[in-house]
Chains A and B, each alone.
Chain A
């Protein structure tokens, strides 16, 4: 593509791309995000390419590997344009039928459509599926329409028009004012007003300033930033360049964790393409504004996502945080003013410039404007990425968008805010989700992880899990975080093993307070959240572990046992054959018995026992019944035909 030297040339190029594209032309979009690739999307893409060629449609149909549309549960996701027919869980063996039925005969393959689990109704288009219908997808909505490796796709959808507008028709002050007016708050966790951060950097005396994208998405169970970076990397570059213009920076960095190889690949391609077209580099769009972007890969350290630690890591040193008496916006990377925002925050910037702050504030609540992407995972029917306006209730997210809890189980809690967030119980499901409400409930917004838990999840174990994670990830620089987390983790482990003592809960609360008040960075300051929130809402579970040595969720390994009810066992040999520890004795017509000494409590026996027998049970808080005597183990069956 030729270089564009002015906003007018950009528009001309855009019109050129659009006019070359026939909106009525068939296109098969296949999600090629990490989630769908793990479910086999690349085989599906290959199958489409081969089958389209085989059936002689190569000249009439395009195929496209796209970014993630969010519906990971039903991946690989395929959308066929122009009809927008959405097929789910597509396998390579389905492809021949799709090509001949849908692409040739223009008919729908019914069995691959979404089926509503409640009404049994089928949905043909993306927009008819409840999972999508109840979202507001300002940011991730375009992912399925774009090949992230092709800048033309982004331009065709109106890409870089916000940058052109900012550079040609707005002063840098006006850009800043618009972002301030939109009241955009940081999507990475803290919720700090973006406009304020930008102003601080802009006003800092140093001439050299940096802008940085934080894509060190480390929260387990959260992948919204990855989906944006993989699926729409140009939107990040556009947002970043606009931000650089507003604060007066000419050099930007993208810090991506190396665990996201596809995001790194796509963003590097995007940078190269933007440079070729003249949307990055010298004299962007003839405005006289210069800006370059460099990608830095993180080497795997959760704490390096903290702003000061991340900047140290970019400098090529160990990514440990430092005290921030002086904000990084004033003294950050190489001691220069540095604006660091999260991926999703940057992705919002082009929208605000294009459509205006007044449009932006129509979504969300007064204190938390816009939409937020959540990664809805755990014990939920529709695992995936969901983009909803702030202020929506937890109940709507979990039931309307998420489709509720699988297997008819009961909802217990939802954990928000990543490892340093908290657990919110059923009683608070009607709470509005925004920065302030979540904090009030003892949790936080964090970067948008939302892990749903059902009756089988033990809340003591959840707290222990997060503290285990945090003690591993604490850099160890300050004592309250290093030792506080370690001691809390030890107490929680003991409680989970049945070694808890009276007074442990109070001790946990005390340790929490010190760790929260005295730690250097947000990792330590927020580390007590999982402990405090589970104690606050699920104290009785802690007490059952400590006093009765019982795990009410039947989850803590040391407090449970598996037992085969001799009255129900029909000696079908299923559990006996599948037990990886060979801990089950029995045989044909011999009632099976678990050797408690050998049992590793993996739960395989419970999973494989046919539901019509339901002979395997979990026991907690009481002794395992003694095995039935050898002589009573034979099952006498009436032989057939008598």
Chain B
């Protein structure tokens, strides 16, 4: 959908990682902020990137592993071209989000947390997108689709290739 993705590329630029680390003055307490920035640009965290961060910040790799597996924002595997976020917040839940999620799973063949084989879709559930008036909400590549019934989501997903 016109959005540049970096899937397929082994790893983001080595220099770019250095730039991000330099921006935070190589400060170990900025570890999470640095990882967030790498995740944001590369959309996942390759092992090589983590090793580099570990070396530069003098933080053991196991601590970094602990962090990237604890927080939800990080992904250790490549992501699909299109990110689907199905909101499972309480307001969406009582307005039928589980039925929407079931339909999305049937249509894409993947479960939350997974990416399909040809890297088309990655599916995630989120705990609240904070636009409860539109519930149930599905967000695809940052675009909100509000008040979606299971039958409509099929139409929405068809538009992405």
Contacts and interface: CB of A to CB of B under 8 A. Distances in A.
Given A223-B132, A602-B99, A578 B151 contact: yes
Nearest to A452: B94
B36 A221 contact: no
Interface string A392-419: 0000000000000000000000010001
Give the interface residue-count category, chain A: 35 or more
Contacts of B93: 220, 465
Contact of A383 (B63, B74, B91, B150): B91
A319 interface: yes
A75 interface: yes
A34 B130 contact: yes
B90 A220 contact: yes
A226 B130 contact: yes
Contacts of B33: 296-297, 316
A114 to B, nearest CB: 15
B82 to A, nearest CB: 18
Contact of B127 (A72, A298, A451, A469): A469
A479 interface: no
B73 A258 contact: yes
Contacts of B126: 259
A170 to B, nearest CB: 34
A299 B94 contact: no
Give the interface residue-count category, chain B: 35 or more
B105 to A, nearest CB: 10
B106 A221 contact: no
Given A316-B30, A449-B90, A451-B94, A375 B133 contact: no
Q: Is the interface of B mostly helix, strand, loop or mixed?
A: helix
Interface in A281-340: 296-302, 313-320
A299 B106 contact: no
Contact of B128 (A220, A298, A314, A379): A220
A581 interface: yes
Contact of B103 (A34, A602, A607): A602
A299 B32 contact: yes
Interface in B100-151: 102-103, 106-107, 126-135, 137, 144, 146, 149-151
Nearest to B57: A316
A38 B137 contact: yes
B88 A220 contact: yes
B67 interface: yes
A442 B106 CA distance: 39
Given A299-B73, A316-B31, A223 B149 contact: no
B135 A377 contact: yes
Nearest to A301: B71
B148 to A, nearest CB: 12
A315 B30 CA distance: 8
Contacts of A607: 149, 151
B111 to A, nearest CB: 14
B29 interface: yes
Contacts of B63: 317
B81 interface: no
Interface in B6-61: 28-33, 35-36
B66 A318 contact: yes
A378 B91 contact: yes
A218 interface: yes
Contacts of A469: 127
B71 A300 contact: yes
Interface string A217-243: 011111100100000000000000000
A190 interface: no
A113 interface: no
Contact of A415 (B90, B146, B149): B90
B106 A580 contact: yes
B79 interface: no
A299 B130 contact: no
Contact of A73 (B36, B103, B107, B133): B133
Interface string A449-473: 1010100010000100110010000
B49 to A, nearest CB: 15
A313 B33 CA distance: 10
Contacts of B71: 298-301, 319
Contacts of A466: 90
Interface string A589-609: 000000000001111100110
Please list the 10 inter-chain residue pairs (A to B) with the smallest Cβ-Cβ separation, ordered nearest first.
A300-B72, A299-B71, A220-B89, A377-B132, A377-B91, A383-B133, A220-B128, A223-B130, A72-B133, A38-B144
Interface of A: 34-35, 38-39, 72-73, 75, 218-223, 226, 258-260, 296-302, 313-320, 375, 377-379, 383-384, 415, 419, 449, 451, 453, 457, 462, 465-466, 469, 475, 557, 578, 580-581, 600-604, 607-608
Given A38-B137, A297-B36, A301-B71, 18 more contacts: A34-B130, A38-B129, A38-B131, A39-B134, A72-B132, A72-B133, A75-B133, A258-B36, A318-B66, A377-B133, A383-B91, A383-B132, A415-B90, A451-B90, A465-B90, A475-B70, A600-B106, A601-B99
